[in-house]
């Protein structure tokens, strides 16, 4: 069996590309011949150029997120998968990193772009995916229902495989990390790309009640234009400089030096006040670092909270100060639960599940042929 995994180049997109690299390593450990095929996200010609390189594979595994396939979410996906199907007879598996419904809140700068995404590119992505792909992976159980309702894809074609936790995440002493980062006392970390959908501004409205230090480590490279400046202005105008610290940079390095993981090591709690999300790579990194989480009241987080005590939910914005205090009181238990989540979602187990799925789609044709002959 020969597998190709298609994901964006790491220099253009960090979260999904890094996850794909770790997943490939785990799948190789299962004895599967799998290769990485990369493209520059949002670039049509980069996508088209990889098609000749995808010949000769038994399975092509595509990591899909609408924004990766065009400035207007997903606009280049339709011609890409159509041409791929023409030039390759491989089985196609897709991992949906996001699932959009028509009534979902979108955060484009122009309302017309929201209209195009909601009524054109998002629905068409699902239609073309259903036409040409054989199986679909979602990373949370509730997404099976959501995807089947938002698209013509039948539930039987959708498989739940959780995102894998990497056990080789760099770990640093909390006290030393705080000292190196010039931090004292409790640290509540918000990290990653900044945008309205991440809800950082919601936490700032409660900053005085939460107390210091709210550390916002922002990756400006992928952030929405102007949002970081709005946060800076809010902090300044409301006299929050002693409570909120903004560390803004084009890219937070995860290697040499591993500043990304230093932030996690220094944190007592990770805050995820998202307005919308399907899954969260930051949550996975929090579990990998064994750090408890306080989040917004979204399906993804609620589903996790039913089975694990590593996360607490703020049902409304005004609840964050109270919920954060509760999390600090139960900190040791929440850390223990984070370790349990990490153990049960080890990326090696996830690699094994991918191997089983690849074998299943390849054997489907053999089973069908056998039935026709008998």
* Alpha helix positions (H), the chain: 15-28, 44-50, 77-87, 111-116, 122-132, 142-150, 174-180, 200-204, 207-210, 227-237, 259-266, 281-288, 299-307, 320-329, 331-344, 347-373
Q: What is the pTM of this model?
A: 0.90
How is domain 174-344 classified at the architecture level of CATH?
3-Layer(aba) Sandwich (3.40)
Among the listed residues 49, 7, 75, 10, the one whose alpha carbon sits nearest the alpha carbon of residue 222: 10
pLDDT at 373: 46
Same fold, 2-164+346-373 and 174-344: yes
Q: How far is CA 46 from CA 3, 42, 327, in A?
A: 20, 8, 46
Structure tokens, 160: 């739940």
Residues of the chain predicted below pLDDT 50 = 369, 372-374
Contacts of 236 (CB under 8 A, 6+ apart): none
- What is the C-alpha separation between 183 and 95, in angstroms, rounded? 39
pLDDT at 251: 81
The residues that bridge with 271 in the sheet, in sequence order, are 294
CB 64 within 8 A of CB 129: yes
The residues that bridge with 342 in the sheet, in sequence order, are none
pLDDT at 136: 98
pLDDT at 369: 45
Residue 45 CB burial class (10 angstroms; 0-12, 13-18, ≥19): exposed
Residue 171 has a CB neighbour count (10 Å cut-off) of 14
Parse the chain into domains and list their residue ranges: 2-164+346-373, 174-344
CATH 3.40.50.2000 holds for 2-164+346-373 = yes
């Amino acid at each position: 069996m020969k597998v190709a995994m298609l994901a964006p180049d790491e220099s253009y997109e960090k979260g999904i590309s890094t996850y794909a690299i770790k997943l490939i390593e785990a799948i190789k450990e299962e004895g599967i011949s799998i290769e990485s095929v990369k493209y520059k996200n949002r670039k049509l010609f980069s996508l088209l150029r990889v098609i000749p390189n995808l010949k000769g594979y038994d399975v092509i595994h595509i990591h899909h997120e609408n924004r990766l396939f065009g400035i207007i979410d997903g606009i280049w996906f339709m011609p890409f998968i159509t041409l791929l199907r023409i030039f390759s007879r491989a089985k196609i598996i897709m991992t949906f990193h996001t699932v959009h419904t028509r009534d979902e809140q979108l955060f484009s700068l122009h309302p017309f772009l929201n209209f195009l995404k909601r009524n054109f590119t998002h629905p068409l992505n699902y239609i073309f995916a259903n036409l040409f792909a054989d199986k679909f992976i979602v990373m949370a159980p509730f997404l099976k229902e959501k995807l089947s309702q938002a698209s013509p894809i039948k539930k039987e074609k959708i498989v739940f495989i959780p995102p894998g936790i990497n056990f080789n995440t760099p770990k640093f002493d909390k006290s030393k990390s705080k000292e190196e980062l010039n931090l004292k006392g409790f640290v509540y970390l918000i990290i990653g790309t900044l945008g309205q959908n991440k809800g950082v501004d919601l936490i700032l409205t409660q900053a005085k009640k939460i107390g210091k230090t709210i550390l916002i480590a922002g990756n400006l490279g992928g952030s929405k234009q102007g949002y970081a400046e709005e946060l800076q202005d809010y902090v300044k105008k409301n006299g929050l400089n002693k409570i909120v610290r903004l560390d803004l940079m084009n890219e937070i390095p995860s290697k040499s030096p591993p500043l990304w993981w230093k932030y996690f090591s220094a944190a007592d709690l990770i805050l995820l006040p998202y307005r919308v999300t399907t899954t969260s790579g930051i949550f996975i990194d929090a579990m990998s670092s064994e750090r408890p989480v306080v989040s917004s009241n979204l399906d993804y987080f609620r589903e996790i909270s039913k089975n694990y005590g590593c996360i607490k939910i703020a049902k409304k914005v005004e609840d964050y100060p109270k919920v954060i205090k509760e999390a600090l009181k139960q900190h040791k238990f929440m850390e223990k639960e984070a370790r349990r989540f990490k153990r049960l979602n080890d990326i090696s187990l996830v690699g094994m599940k991918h191997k089983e799925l690849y074998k299943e789609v390849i054997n489907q044709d053999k089973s069908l042929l056998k039935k026709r002959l008998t």
